[in-house]
């Protein structure tokens, strides 16, 4: 696969980090992503309320953006279980986000996935980072149902995704993420990690496409690839905000992983289930 040069990708991610830091400190955010939110640890038979929107992490929907409205027809929301069975969810617009619900009937590990195609966006005036881009915005998050001793993650229909190797979502746990594109490892790719304390960290996948870090705080973690562009994919699709079919010369992905990390149980909590 042919991607944008390392320096150009690094500049794009650094710019994203700067904008994200600006937004987290009270400024106006400029970067967009698919935000996906729901309680990630529930019991079998418990209804899970799921929300997603296009906007700025963690809670700033961009309702004025045309793609926010387009999600009603262009987005897909689905749940996958450990056997690979896929359940498509219907969703409705409720004020500033789209909402759906899901009731898991079995214990185990699930993925909740949101996918949206923005169509072809003309950025040819920004060459080489521009061109005619077919853009995808997507997100996924785990759903742990019941007493899940160990997480065995599996792939989803996403083109770009993090494949997790996680024992548990608890503070102090070391996590290993493998970044895949279309089934292939992506090495030397910049990734942004935002912790619950709004600390922004930029990391890079190694030669095997893996990055490692440790959960050092309970709360919601946001792991993000903001500008992965494949220069070898060309074709035809609908133009943004139009029914016109146009040619695109690259595909660009904006992909997010959301993880809810809990405090590590103490000895008596583990022993007696307190």
pLDDT in tens, 119-151: 999 999 876 778 999 999 999 999 999 988 767
Measured between alpha carbons, how far apart are the two ends of the chain, in Å? 50
The backbone torsions φ and ψ at residue 139, rounded to the nearest 5 degrees and listed phi first, read -155, 155
How many CB atoms sit inside 10 A of residue 104's CB? 21
Q: What are the pLDDT digits (tens) for 49-65?
A: 999 999 999 999 999 99
Decide: residue 207, CB within 10 A, 0-12 exposed, 13-18 middle, 19+ buried. Answer: exposed
Q: What digits encode the pLDDT tens for the residues 45-104?
A: 999 999 999 999 999 999 999 999 999 999 999 999 988 899 999 999 998 999 999 999
CB atoms within 10 A of CB 53: 25
- Confidence category of residue 160, pLDDT binned at 50, 70, 90: very high
| Burial profile 132-169: b = 16 or more Cβ within 10 angstroms, e = fewer | bbbbbbbbbbbbbbeebeeeebeebebbbbbbbebebb
CATH topology of domain 6-272: Immunoglobulin-like (2.60.40)
| Alpha-carbon span 119 to 128, nearest angstrom | 19
pTM over 0.75: yes
> What does the domain layout of the chain look like in residue ranges?
6-272
Closest residue by Cα to residue 171 from 217, 124, 237: 217
What are the C-alpha distances in Å from 270 to residues 166, 216, 235, 261, 264?
19, 20, 54, 17, 9
Q: Name the burial class of residue 175, with classes exposed (0-12), middle (13-18) and buried (19+) by CB atoms within 10 angstroms of its CB.
A: buried
Q: Mean pLDDT across the stretch 215-235?
A: 93
**Element housing 113 (H / E):** strand 108-123
């Amino acid at each position: 696969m042919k991607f944008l040069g390392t320096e150009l990708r690094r500049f794009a991610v650094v710019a994203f980090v700067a904008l994200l830091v600006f937004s987290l400190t009270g400024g106006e955010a400029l970067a967009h992503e698919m935000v996906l939110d729901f309680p990630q640890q529930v019991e079998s038979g418990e209804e899970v309320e799921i929300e997603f929107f296009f906007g700025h992490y963690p809670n700033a929907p961009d309702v004025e953006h045309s793609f926010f409205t387009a999600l009603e027809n262009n987005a897909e929301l689905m749940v996958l279980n450990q056997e690979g069975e896929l359940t498509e969810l219907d969703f409705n617009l409720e004020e500033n986000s789209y909402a759906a619900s899901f009731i898991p009937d079995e214990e185990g590990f699930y993925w909740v996935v949101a996918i949206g195609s923005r169509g072809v966006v003309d950025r040819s005036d920004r060459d080489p980072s521009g061109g005619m881009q077919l853009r995808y915005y997507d997100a996924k998050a785990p759903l742990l149902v019941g007493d899940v001793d160990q997480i065995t993650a599996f792939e989803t229909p996403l083109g770009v995704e993090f494949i997790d190797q996680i024992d548990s979502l608890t503070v102090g746990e070391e996590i290993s993420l493998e970044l895949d594109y279309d089934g292939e490892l992506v090495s030397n790719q910049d990734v942004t990690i935002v912790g619950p304390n709004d600390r922004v960290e930029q990391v890079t996948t190694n030669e095997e496409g893996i990055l490692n870090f440790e959960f050092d705080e309970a709360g919601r973690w946001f792991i993000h690839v903001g500008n992965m562009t494949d220069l070898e994919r060309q074709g035809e699709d609908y133009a943004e905000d139009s029914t016109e079919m146009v040619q695109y010369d690259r595909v660009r992905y904006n992909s997010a992983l959301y993880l809810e990390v809990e405090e590590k149980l103490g000895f008596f909590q583990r022993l007696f289930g307190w």
